[in-house]
Amino acid sequence: MPDNSHSNHSLPPGPDTPFTVNTDQATFDIIPEWLDTYGHVVKVYSDVRDRIGYLVNDPDMIRHILIKNPANYQKGPGFERVKMLLGNGIIVSDGAFWRRQRRMIQPAFGKRSIAKLCEQVQQCNQDLLNSWRLKAESNEVIDLTYETNKLSLQVILRVIFSEDVDFLVKQHGSDPFEFLTADTTRDLQVVLKFRALIKLFQDLIDWRREHQPERHDFLDFFMSAIDKESELKMQDKELIDELMTAIIAGHETSAITLNWSWYLLSTHAEVEDQALTEIDSVIAQQPASFEQLLQLKYIKQVVSEALRLYPPVWLFSRTSIKHDQLGQYDVPPGTDIFFSPYYMHRHPEHWENAEEFDPDRFNAVNDKQRANQVYIPFSSGPRRCIGDFFAIVESQLHFGMMLPEFQMQVVENPSLELEPFINLRVKEGIKVTLSKRQ
Ligand code: HEM
């Protein structure tokens, strides 16, 4: 075990037996036991990593690490696996390089840009709507989890590449992204298939440079972004890493959010009624305008509550660089820090009836009363999710379009067992039938 005898402060309590915290079932199962036994910050030694880690479930401490002193914490364990998939995209990079990339990419996720991209999102939802109409007519059982997964993949691809998704399919000879919905294991095979996309992306970048087509999508934003400090554009390798990052970071997270939001809406009739009333009063005619989507405040509350109960990123990490202090506890350099939105969102001291689905927690009054950092589905501070606004608008658009047309019935006794890997998935897809509303 590392020698911490030089420390003047104390270390938090924790189990004597070594344990390696990971995005896996064993970690998911043991966290509640630790929190019960040791309190809101737990020290655990990993013999695999030969270092100590703290599980931090206290809003003030989370605030300290993510907002007050983020420069002392770099990305922690787990991110090395993400790096294999994404190269040095902004989800894994750190320091000056991360700052530069974030600065260049940020405007693509602003209001003006997202408003323009809504047309692409609308088209994907229109395709789904047409397909669901047929499924509603035939009353067949559908796999909601698979459907939302497919939709979210289409959405993220269309906002990144717009009509040039077709270029990529043509160039590849078949759908090069199919494995992302067909194979959700993210094992080495998938890493290899994913890395093979690099050549395709390079071809598209070259083609765009040569033909200069008019496009409004993330690729266009990323290709034309100029760093204010260096006055340089991104190099192709950096550009491609950021494309990969946006696909992976924006696909399954959004899919899981839609999956659970639908499930919760369909099993809470009074919430569904209120959502329908809101859509009816805000959207006079389809398709809704961007401004109308932003007015779907109750839908946003529903989605926020789904993200509270089932945050797709249920565990993430940092590693301390220099000594620091968390309340009364010492943080030696090289300490791994783990945050779990899933357990923070169910903390009995911060959430009343935490297991219950109640979108009113997020109405304007209750929202103001909540302590900061007890709700962190998108993390917090400078490394907060860059796609948070987009993810919410994407959901508002989806429900604004689909909910007035379809009622969803969950097939009885769905197994809602969770699969806590990199993202918090359901083990088996949720099966539903659709009927058209009168
Ligand atoms: C409901 C959907 C989403 C959830 C719950 C979510 C959650 C998160 C979380 C928790 C982080 C922080 C991870 C960390 O600090 O270690 C993050 C970062 C990030 N997310 Fe999201 N995300 C969502 C959607 C999206 C979308 C749609 C995109 C892109 C289109 C996206 C792109 C990113 C990127 C690039 C980062 C890294 C930001 C940085 O480090 O500067 N996310 N996300």
**158: Cβ below 6 Å to ligand 1?**
no
Cα 432 off chain centre by: 24
Q: Average model confidence (pLDDT) for the chain?
A: 94
Which residues 6+ apart lie within 8 Å of 137 measured at CB? 436
Ligand 1 atom closest to 390 (CA): 27
User: Nearest residue CA, atom 10 of ligand 1?
Assistant: 378
pLDDT at 4: 45
Residue 332 contacts residue 320 (beta carbons within 8 Å): yes
pLDDT at 275: 98
pLDDT tens digits for 194-244? 878 999 999 999 999 999 999 999 999 999 999 999 999 999 999 999 999
Task: Name the H helices within 162-217.
Answer: 165-172, 179-182, 188-195, 197-211
Query: Does the structure show a pLDDT above 60 at 395?
Result: yes
Residue 35 contacts residue 42 (beta carbons within 8 Å): yes
pLDDT at 2: 45
pLDDT tens digits for 144-195? 999 999 999 999 999 999 999 999 999 999 999 988 887 666 667 777 788 7
**251: Cβ below 6 Å to ligand 1?**
no
Instruction: Specify the pairing of strand 324-326 against strand 336-339.
Output: unpaired
pLDDT at 81: 77
Rounded percentage of the chain residues whose pLDDT exceeds 70: 97
Q: How far is the CA of 324 from the centre of ligand 1 (A)?
A: 26
pLDDT at 222: 97
Query: Does the structure show a pLDDT above 70 at 23?
Result: yes
**268: Cβ below 6 Å to ligand 1?**
no
Ligand 1 atom closest to 160 (CA): 30
Q: How far is the CA of 391 from the centre of ligand 1 (A)?
A: 9
**78: Cβ below 6 Å to ligand 1?**
no
**101: Cβ below 6 Å to ligand 1?**
no
Ligand 1 site-directed mutation target among 338, 385, 392, 396, most atoms within 8 Å of CB: 385
Ligand 1 atom closest to 93 (CA): 40
Higher pLDDT, 133 or 81: 133
Cis peptide upstream of residue 287 (ω within 30 degrees of 0) = yes
DSSP 336-394: EEEE-HHHHTT-TTTSTTTTS--GGGGSHHHHHHSPTTS--TT--GGGS-TTHHHHHHH
Ligand 1 atom closest to 257 (CA): 1
Higher pLDDT, 416 or 86: 416
Ligand 1 atom closest to 376 (CA): 10
pLDDT tens digits for 32-85? 999 999 999 999 999 999 999 999 999 999 999 999 999 999 999 988 878 887
User: Nearest residue CA, atom 30 of ligand 1?
Assistant: 250
**249: Cβ below 6 Å to ligand 1?**
yes
Q: How far is the CA of 387 from the centre of ligand 1 (A)?
A: 6
Ligand 1 atom closest to 384 (CA): 12
Instruction: Specify the pairing of strand 424-426 against strand 329-331.
Output: unpaired
pLDDT tens digits for 287-336? 999 999 999 999 999 999 999 999 999 999 999 999 999 999 999 999 99
pLDDT at 252: 94
Instruction: State the pTM of this model.
Output: 0.96
Query: Does the structure show a pLDDT above 50 at 6?
Result: no
CA pair distance 361, 220, nearest whole angstrom: 39
C-alpha distance from residue 226 to each of 100, 104, 242 (Å): 10, 7, 15
Question: What's the DSSP call for residue 407?
Answer: E
Ligand 1 atom closest to 75 (CA): 16
